[in-house]
Chains A and B, each alone.
Chain A
């Protein structure tokens, strides 16, 4: 198994993601520059967090047109697990690989804090080692994580079990107080119709080791290890 961590100009969680994969999850990972056009040698593609292209125009909008995105699209079509974290999620939305869009946080502030996430479905390669209802503790760090989808798309996501994570309180309740950014229906992560493309705003790479305050994100790597090795 081999993972690609895509590096865009302005990515800044690429090294953390590379470390979490290589050193913690024991998944050999390569940095892949955004000019690459072939990802066929990889079993996992991760779009890390950061501020690609300085968030110009809209978060993720410029990166969504990088040369590598054709190869990411091809990998997604082949069924390769693709994970977008934070800015990576925003890029997948702008590229149309996931439905919806991000608005500015309701608070207008950059929210940098620990949150609780409830796993809504184990039917993705990034949650298959969990059970629906599990509560994970991960950090967020974003200014535009206020997830939006129109009513038709929201219904489609709900009906097809494609909401992957919700912001909840420590007891697993999806309350307004537990929603850090104003996201529609407390949504923190969604998946594609084929279920292999997942995006989430919180950072599993920053919560894969006890030394970093939580191992809540480790189960995401464990899940994809299972998914790819089977």
Chain B
């Protein structure tokens, strides 16, 4: 069986309850623009890359480990892994 390449997308968000000064400021900016109904703005980040692994489960396990080790800080952030589509060989 040959390895497959996945297009990975990791979404990192601040945990609920963790103060997000950046989100609050973006919200204030949107309201200044007239979007007064905007509420609850939170700013996160998306990290994209490709990964070659034996299969979907192996890819997921590796990305999960990457998130814990570096991509997210579990003290303040949560992360979601999207394995996306398998890249055609």
Q: Using CB atoms and an 8 Å cutoff, list the residues of chain A in contact with chain B.
A: 57-58, 61, 65, 93-94, 99-101, 103-108, 146, 148-150, 182
B75 touches A150 (CB 8 A): yes
Residue of B nearest to A151 (CB): B17
Residues of B within 8 A of A106 (CB): 19, 21
Residues of A within 8 A of B38 (CB): none
Knowing A57-B70, A65-B70, the reply to whether A100 touches B75 (Cβ < 8 A) is: yes
B18 touches A107 (CB 8 A): no
Per-residue 0/1 for B52-89: is the Cβ within 8 Å of any A Cβ (1 yes, 0 no)? Answer: 00000000000000000111010110000000000000
With beta carbons under 8 angstroms apart, the residue of A94, A103, A150 that contacts B19 is: A103
In angstroms, Cα B25 to Cα A106, docked, is 10
B50 within 8 A of A: no
Residues of B within 8 A of A104 (CB): 21-22
A149 touches B75 (CB 8 A): yes
CB distance from B89 to the nearest CB of A (A): 31
A146 touches B21 (CB 8 A): yes
Mostly, the A contact residues are loop
Residues of A within 8 A of B19 (CB): 103, 106, 146, 148, 182
Query: How many residues of chain B are within 8 Å of chain A by beta carbon?
Result: 12
CB distance from B6 to the nearest CB of A (A): 21
CB distance from A206 to the nearest CB of B (A): 25
Query: B18, B20, B73: which has the most chain A beta carbons within 10 Å?
Result: B73
In angstroms, Cα B75 to Cα A99, docked, is 9
A108 touches B73 (CB 8 A): no
B25 touches A103 (CB 8 A): no
In angstroms, Cα B75 to Cα A61, docked, is 13
Q: Which 9 residue pairs spanning A and B have beta carbons closest together?
A: A101-B75, A101-B76, A104-B21, A106-B21, A108-B21, A101-B73, A108-B25, A104-B22, A58-B73
In angstroms, Cα B70 to Cα A58, docked, is 9
A103 touches B70 (CB 8 A): no
Residue of A nearest to B18 (CB): A148
Pairs A–B under 8 Å by Cβ, sample size 15: A58-B73, A65-B70, A93-B75, A100-B75, A101-B73, A101-B75, A101-B76, A103-B18, A103-B20, A104-B21, A106-B19, A106-B21, A148-B18, A148-B19, A182-B19
Query: B20, B25, B75: which has the most chain A beta carbons within 10 Å?
Result: B75
In angstroms, Cα B40 to Cα A144, docked, is 22
Residue of A nearest to B25 (CB): A108
CB distance from A72 to the nearest CB of B (A): 17
In angstroms, Cα B19 to Cα A46, docked, is 30
